[in-house]
Structure 1
């Protein structure tokens, strides 16, 4: 088991990496944000938040990952 770092900047970095990964995958599939948020049944702004690395609910990530056919474990 490892200890947490002294500050939480690593969390922000990981969220950004996940958002970048989802954006890259969406673009690789030639999908627009509109197509993805509608298919995932989330709000447009929510998808924008996810791609920017904002904190979102796990269920939102699951919906978007499902639509893009990306396992959550691959988002790291």
Structure 2
């Protein structure tokens, strides 16, 4: 079985995608006139986890993204694809 090639820009691409998702979460939250606190409390996730996701500094589990999307009143694909 062959190795999966590692693309040179893999890490940069992943970071850029996480930041884009975090930006879409922030914009959606602001459009919904919600504070970070109201979202992370309603989504039942920790403050630090939410802040890291919105900043693009952490990977989010799909269940976490689904909770955030539900709280913000959008479909999860809106956060992933914008």
User: Which category of TM-score, normalised to the shorter sequence, fits these structures?
Assistant: 0.7 to 0.9
Moved over 6 A (4+): none
RMSD: 1.7
Corresponding position of 1:73: 77
Gaps of at least 5 residues in structure 1 are none
Gaps of at least 5 residues in structure 2 are 1-5
Corresponding position of 1:52: 55
Which structure has the larger Rg over C-alpha atoms?
Answer: 2
Distance between the aligned counterparts of 1:40 and 1:14, measured in 2?
A: 22
Query: Aligned pair count?
Result: 74
Q: What pairs with 1:20-39 in structure 2 (closer than 5 Å)? A: 20-39=23-42
